[in-house]
Amino acid sequence: MVDIATRVYNHKWKIDPIVRSLIDTDFYKLLMCQSVFRNKRDTQVTFSLINRSKSIRMADLIDEGELREQLDHVRSLSLSRGESTWLRGNTFYGKRQMFRPDFMEWFENLRLPPYHLEKRDGQYELTFEGAWPEVMLWEIPALSILMELRSRAVTGDMGRFELQILYARAMTRVWEKVEQLKPLDGLKIADFGTRRRHSYLWQDWCVQAMGEGLGSKFSGTSNCHIAMKRDLEAVGTNAHELPMVYSALADGDDALARAPYDVLADWQEEHDGNLRIILPDTYGTRGFLDRAPDWLAGWTGIRIDSGDPATGAEVAIDWWTSRGEDPTKKLVIFSDGLDVDKIAALHTQFKGRVRTSFGWGTLLTNDFRGLVNNNALNPFSLVCKAIKADGKPTVKLSDNPNKAMGPSDEIKRYKRVFGVGEQVSEDVVV
Amino acid sequence: MVDIATRVYNHKWKIDPIVRSLIDTDFYKLLMCQSVFRNKRDTQVTFSLINRSKSIRMADLIDEGELREQLDHVRSLSLSRGESTWLRGNTFYGKRQMFRPDFMEWFENLRLPPYHLEKRDGQYELTFEGAWPEVMLWEIPALSILMELRSRAVTGDMGRFELQILYARAMTRVWEKVEQLKPLDGLKIADFGTRRRHSYLWQDWCVQAMGEGLGSKFSGTSNCHIAMKRDLEAVGTNAHELPMVYSALADGDDALARAPYDVLADWQEEHDGNLRIILPDTYGTRGFLDRAPDWLAGWTGIRIDSGDPATGAEVAIDWWTSRGEDPTKKLVIFSDGLDVDKIAALHTQFKGRVRTSFGWGTLLTNDFRGLVNNNALNPFSLVCKAIKADGKPTVKLSDNPNKAMGPSDEIKRYKRVFGVGEQVSEDVVV
């Protein structure tokens, strides 16, 4: 029997919204948002979309009207009662009431601020200006909208069976990856693939496949909406935007040199245990760790998000050892451009020397490489970054110069202040 | 929204019926049935299930109660009004009213006769005894029930994602085959896969994939129910059971030698054009053609269902040439154990020399080879054959001794009567 009401209802939609919930975002965005809401609520920040893969001409692929409709739809969203209840009542990292009442009240009343959209050189210039805790929440929806509109553009002229086979092949690929991970003893792996996913439904499928195939080796998803819907752990801690904005706000070189530690001092006040994860690469991992105060060595772990991951982990292990910490008690989270072979290699290499876990992103939720003509569904490197804070430009150096950003004179100054010398370039795939 | 009525209705089913329609059968069964109904209505025939793949212990795999339920369900079926209308009103091979009113009236009132089921040596002995036009209609439902119960037995303990990936892989495989066939210029190919299909829904999917991928190169399906549902041509002509029963009924060696031609004389009275297809291999192709009356050389084509297919086609071409016929006007239908490589090779080999078409069976609708542990879903050779007619055993020699059947003394007599000498054995895969 056809459910007539459902069919009529479905056909009433003017668009098929890509982001249908304000918590269809990464958990760490909300954690950081709460921290920013507490510490830097009035800072004016500009976020900007940056397509590192210039050959993908987004503005030629994606209709501007459709993009605006999707972005406008996100601006119409507010936290639902159930979502609010989940955020207020759920246990995150074993802790109840992770989100404080004042933050929740603010969040419940939030609508995302306006966006600014222009076409230039076949790309979209998409920027968000406003109070930091508000504009920062645009990052993930903006990315996932652009990624999914691109998927829709490519799949738009495919027939019903072509589509079925496309997804059959993609599912088979994900499942084969899961089967490759299954035998890795002691593996801990989470989905970090929201921002560059092929689509919402596809991410949701990948997450379920991970859960089904990996059981307790699958430790959760960064996506709050999927975590809620699928009764999984929501995972993640903090990102580069914190040190980047703190550093941009710093007055003079001394303050700049202190800024990355100020971020973590603020963080330490709010969080403990598995939420105390250092992200050391914003201005070079080695210098950051060498100059780090001793209290940081007591933190639970380090997330390695650029540079050669094995080297990064060795640096971390050496650092903990030099500070009298036992590395086997520490956690290294790998989250940069992972795929199964790299995961398996790193897991094996560091087994018994340090605890490891993996935040698997784009190559989990968007691996359609080679599945359509001209590789038109291959993942690519789209980011949305804080580029300005209270009128001053932000800078990121990273452990991979291909991931650096900021004005060149500021990059020079930051390199000097943070003592960053020669760096090894790595290709940025995603 | 959940359609509550549908959900409740679905849960009321005591079984999930495999065969839900009396026309979920091969078109040629109905054509032959009409011919038998006209010419040999009262002949008492026994059909029997034969599993040529003894290593597949059907009775260990399949629950007897479930098998009985499925067979009983088929006995509860009768032709629906829509099915009757379709058979009466549709055009088959360009001809209206293919099925005569007296036959349709009989068919509308038909319920399938009782079956006899026993377990022996890990196999099911399943036999059907009664008037030929009635019992012959058991062949296809009996086979498709046993095949699908076997699929269900194997997939019964698989998880939701394992199943999804199983079908994703199988779909990808079928689609890759379709893509391999697509470039073959002038190809004509039909689905002949009802009897040994993985399941009804799977056959239906494969047929749709063929239609979508091959367009006009896909000439239809032997399955009447799917042809009706998907608005396709129903295709097929005649099978070994006709000469086998006619021969069993023949009184003495002279009558026996004539019997295979009597069958086709009866057939010629009823059919013309593309329905005049000779199936010459029942008692050896070469001898059959050598002794054939000239009127047979005027028929449209030959179906090659055993032996080396290229050799069979060459024999046919030589025969037509020797009888003054132009082979390029004739049709060779290949239908034995086909898969894409063989289809492509035969298509290329005979291009321009004779018209060809392909009846693709088990390796279209049941190619799950290697997709589960222990190859437990690999296709196997299950047949359901007329073994007795009016108390006398039937015999089949075939062009492949591995496909021969009947009591050995009778096989010896048939070989003598039909002048069959040394034969080349070919593996029977399906």
Task: Return d(Cα A283, Cα B211) in angstroms, integer.
Answer: 58
> Which chain A residue has the Cα nearest residue B205?
A161
Chain B's closest residue to A165, CA to CA, is B172
Q: What was the pLDDT predicted at B151? A: 97
Region A370-397 average pLDDT = 96
Query: What was the pLDDT predicted at B4?
Result: 79
Per-residue pLDDT tens digits for B164-187: 999 999 999 999 999 999 999 999
Task: Indicate whether A187 and A335 sit together in one domain.
Answer: yes
Q: Provide the pLDDT for residue A2.
A: 80
pLDDT at B10: 85
Whether the predicted pLDDT of A429 surpasses 80 = no
> Which tens digits make up the pLDDT trace of B375-407?
999 999 999 999 999 999 999 999 999 999 999
pLDDT of residue A8: 86
Asked whether the beta carbons of A145 and A199 are under 8 A apart, the reply is no
Check whether residue A138 and residue A265 sit in a common domain.
Answer: no
pLDDT of residue B192: 98
According to the model, what pLDDT value does residue A142 have? 98
Averaged pLDDT for residues B324-349: 97
Which positions in chain A touch B2 (Cβ < 8 Å)? 3
B397 Cβ neighbours under 8 A, 6+ residues apart: B282, B283, B284, B404, B411, B414, B415, B418, B420, B423
Q: What is the pLDDT of residues A338-374, one digit of tens each?
A: 999 999 999 999 999 999 999 999 999 999 999 999 9
The per-residue pLDDT for B155 is 95
Query: What tens digit of pLDDT does each residue of A139-170 get?
Result: 999 999 999 999 999 999 999 999 999 999 99
Max CA distance (Å), chain B: 71
pLDDT tens column, A174-203: 999 999 999 999 999 999 999 999 999 999
Q: How confident is the model at residue B11 (pLDDT cuts 50, 70, 90)?
A: confident
Instruction: Judge if B136 and B172 occupy the same domain.
Output: no
Q: In percent, how much of chain B has pLDDT > 90?
A: 93
Across the interface, of B6, B159, B175, the residue whose CB is closest to A165 is B175
Q: Measured on CA atoms in the order A293, A298, A300, A304, is the torsion positive or negative?
A: positive
- Please give the pLDDT value at position A430: 72
Chain B residues interacting with chain A (CB cutoff of 8 angstroms): 1-3, 5-6, 9, 159-161, 164-165, 167-169, 171-172, 175, 208-209, 212-213
Distance CA A230, CA B419 (A): 71
Please tell me the predicted confidence (pLDDT) of residue B3. 81
List pLDDT tens digits, range B292-327.
999 999 999 999 999 999 999 999 999 999 999 999
In a domain, A403, yes or no: no
Please tell me the predicted confidence (pLDDT) of residue B14. Answer: 86
Is residue A291, in this structure, part of any structural domain at all? Answer: yes
Decide if B283 contacts B397 (C-beta within 8 A).
Answer: yes
Among chain B residues, the shortest Cα distance to A208 is held by B161
SS3 A339: coil
Identity of the residue in A159, A172, A212 whose CB atom sits nearest the CB atom of B169: A172
Residue A216 lies in a domain: yes
- The pLDDT assigned to B252 comes to 96
Q: Are B188 and B312 in a shared domain? A: yes
Express each pLDDT in B34-59 by its tens digit: 999 999 999 999 999 999 999 999 99
pLDDT computed for residue B365 by the predictor: 98
Confidence band (pLDDT; 50, 70, 90) for A9? confident
Give the separation between CA A180 and CA A209, rounded to whole angstroms: 13
Task: Tell me whether residues B160 and A6 touch, CB distance under 8 A.
Answer: no
Please determine, for residue A322, whether its predicted confidence score (pLDDT) is greater than 80: yes
State how many domains chain B has.
2
With an 8 Å Cβ cutoff, are A172 and B175 in contact?
Answer: no
Residue B380 contacts residue B53 (beta carbons within 8 Å): yes
B96-118, pLDDT tens digit by residue? 999 999 999 999 999 999 999 99
What count of other Cβ atoms lies within 10 Å of the Cβ of residue B16? 12
What is the average per-residue pLDDT within B16-20? Answer: 96
Mutate to test the interface with A, among B8, B12, B158, B164 (most CBs of A within 10 A): B164
Domain that holds residue B107: 14-156+377-397
- Structural domain contains residue A378: no
Residue B418 belongs to some domain of the structure? no
CATH number, domain with residue B87:
3.20.140.10
Q: Which amino acid is at A205?
A: W
Residues B361 and B301 in one domain: yes
Inter-chain residue contact A171 with B171, CB threshold 8 Å: no
Name chain A contacts of B212, Cβ cutoff 8 Å: 159-161
Same structural domain for residues B322 and B177? yes
Residues A184 and A305 in one domain: yes
Specify whether A170 is located in the same domain as A315: yes
Q: Do B161 and A1 touch (CB under 8 A)?
A: no
Same domain, A33 and A146: yes
Q: Which of A237, A184, A193 is nearest to A215 (CA)?
A: A184
| B288 in a structural domain | yes
Per 3-state DSSP, chain A is made up of helix, strand and coil in percentages (nearest 5) of 50, 15, 35
Statement to judge: residues B358 and B389 lie in one domain = no
Q: Over chain B, what is the mean pLDDT?
A: 96
pLDDT above 90: percentage of residues in chain A:
93
Is residue B151 located within the same domain as residue B196? no
Q: Which residues of B touch A168 (CB under 8 A)?
A: 167-169, 171-172, 175
Residue B404 domain flag: no
Residue B149 falls inside a structural domain: yes
> Is the confidence at residue B429, as pLDDT, over 80?
no
Section A62-88 average pLDDT: 97
Q: Are residues B145 and B168 in the same domain?
A: no
